[in-house]
Chain A
């Protein structure tokens, strides 16, 4: 998937109209062509850029009084990214949220992107819901009264954030932010166990197929396809580990 396809997908997920996405992508493509720069370098990770393009509230304020977007770290903010799996991510988001990290975006290449205000770090908590696209609005409306704000939506997952100060008051602020974790990859044992079980299940299925249908070629083709398809679904981050 090209950078601009990825950007278009993130903009769609954020409710931008098809016509606007088409114009934006064409304009940015022209920019990248004219400047001769790599879009990833010029605009930053697609998920972050989509968040910055569509956000218009909170954050820093420039000279004209137009509010800055929350996804754009200021000079007093730091950014950190990490990869994990669906089994473990909410636990980790809450762990890092407690260290002042605010969820800003996600894409397959960079994983989760978080930022932290160095001057006044505050603690965050996270909640995840699974909902198809047509139910997202209803889910967001159900959680809004409890202070949950949609941080990002990706495939069927919706990630909500809430400042701990909403429930803890002043204790929601951190006196000092601990150092950013030294690792970027956090895969759980459950994830690796899932991979093993998944591969064994597919292998058993194919073995049964071969015995019953006596059709090695099709069965092996299916096996390869199923394994690769399954791995592509659950292993997006691992390709960046090397």
Chain B
């Protein structure tokens, strides 16, 4: 039950988190997944992450560039666009406001 609820929360905010991982510069899929895992969000599978990246790209919030590697297969690097930066700022504000409301209600429900 706890896992289901956590997965549900993550689903609602994963695109925002992916945008946030790109604020320090461009990155590629596996490194994005590792960054999210290192933040305590658990291992996000590639099958979940890549469709999110594709949708963000289609929406113009990230731009992707494929680069051939000297050795081994190439990688697609993602970076935030200006629209992505603006969306991240706006949605982060809304999320924090939502988080504050949830905390407020939960704090009232906490036994003294």
Q: What is the interface of chain A, defined by CB distance below 8 A to chain B? A: 23-35, 37, 42-44, 48-49, 52-56, 60, 62-69, 72, 74-75
Contacts and interface: CB of A to CB of B under 8 A. Distances in A.
Contacts of B54: 53-54, 56
The bracket for how many chain B residues form the interface is 35 or more
B76 A63 contact: no
28 contacts: A23-B76, A24-B76, A26-B74, A27-B28, A27-B75, A30-B69, A30-B72, A30-B74, A30-B75, A32-B46, A35-B30, A35-B46, A43-B45, A43-B47, A43-B50, A44-B45, A44-B47, A49-B47, A54-B54, A55-B51, A62-B14, A63-B16, A64-B15, A64-B59, A64-B91, A67-B55, A69-B51, A75-B11
A25 B55 CA distance: 17
B74 A62 contact: no
B63 interface: no
Most chain B CB inside 10 Å of its own CB: which residue of A55, A56, A62: A62
Query: Which 5 residue pairs across A and B have the least CB separation, nearest first?
Result: A62-B15, A63-B16, A26-B73, A23-B66, A75-B8
B105 to A, nearest CB: 20
Nearest to B51: A52
Interface in B1-32: 4, 7-8, 11-16, 19, 28-30
A23 B47 contact: no
Contact of B56 (A23, A66, A69): A66
B52 interface: yes
Given A60-B11, A65-B91, A67-B55, 18 more contacts: A23-B76, A26-B66, A28-B29, A30-B30, A30-B69, A31-B46, A33-B72, A35-B30, A35-B33, A43-B45, A52-B47, A52-B51, A53-B51, A56-B55, A63-B12, A66-B58, A69-B51, A74-B11
A28 B50 contact: yes
B101 interface: no
Nearest to A32: B46
A48 B52 CA distance: 14
B47 A63 contact: no
Contacts of A69: 51, 55
A110 to B, nearest CB: 13
Contacts, number: 108
B96 to A, nearest CB: 11
B97 interface: no
A33 B14 CA distance: 24
